[in-house]
């Protein structure tokens, strides 16, 4: 049924990954020159001076956003497949892989760009790097409760 506890966790997975698409993952700013670098889900922006329009790079940085969007789609499908718990568990595992891919690619871009661009300035982390980890925790909790439901149904079937 759709009112089960795992649905709440799956909604939280979808909400945290949707929020990830709109918040910055990290940013660096050189106070002396005013140069600012910012990484978001679909783009990497460089603003050279205050008030100037920034240079926005989409490729290959949009891969992070694509993984996050796929995770949102799989999460929504997973919510409405409550009658088929086995398929729901498989979709949950797929969603775990997509979330790990999102976090891995975001971390890789943070590591490579953070070392190349303004290496003397520390990175200011945004909420974007934490949200996939939170989504992973909620996804694992949802999988746990889906498995409990499946075990309960199978135990009742054995009694008949």
Query: Residue 43: its pLDDT value, please?
Result: 93
CA-based nearest residue to 132, from 69, 81, 90, 58: 69
Q: How far apart are CA 18 and CA 21, in angstroms?
A: 5
Q: What are the tokens at 155?
A: 């135990």
Does CATH place domain 5-154 in 1.20.140.150? yes
Phi and psi at residue 139, in whole multiples of 5°? Answer: -65, -40
Query: Residue 6: its pLDDT value, please?
Result: 94
Structural domain spans, the chain: 5-154
Query: Residue 136: its pLDDT value, please?
Result: 98
Q: How far apart are CA 7 and CA 1, in angstroms?
A: 9
Query: Residue 157: its pLDDT value, please?
Result: 77
Parts of the chain with a pLDDT under 50: none
Query: Residue 22: its pLDDT value, please?
Result: 95
Query: Residue 160: its pLDDT value, please?
Result: 61
Encode pLDDT of 105-120 as tens digits.
999 998 888 778 778 8
Question: Quick check: helix, strand or coil at residue 33?
Answer: coil
Task: Count CA atoms within 13 Å of residue 44 on its CB side.
Answer: 16
Q: How far apart are CA 66 and CA 70, in angstroms?
A: 6
């Amino acid at each position: 049924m759709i009112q089960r506890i795992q649905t709440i966790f799956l909604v939280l997975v979808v909400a945290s990954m949707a929020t990830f698409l709109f918040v910055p993952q990290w940013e660096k700013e050189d106070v002396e020159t005013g140069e600012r670098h910012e990484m978001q889900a679909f783009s990497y922006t460089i603003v050279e001076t205050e008030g100037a329009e920034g240079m926005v790079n989409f490729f290959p940085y949009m891969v992070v956003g694509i993984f996050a969007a796929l995770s949102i789609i799989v999460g929504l499908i997973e919510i409405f497949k409550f009658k088929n718990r086995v398929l729901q568990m498989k979709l949950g595992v797929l969603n775990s892989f997509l979330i790990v891919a999102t976090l891995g690619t975001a971390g890789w871009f943070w590591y490579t760009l953070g070392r190349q661009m303004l290496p003397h300035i520390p990175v200011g982390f945004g909420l974007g790097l934490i949200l996939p980890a939170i989504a992973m925790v909620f996804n694992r909790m949802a999988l746990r409760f889906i498995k409990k439901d499946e075990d309960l149904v199978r135990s009742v079937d054995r009694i008949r």
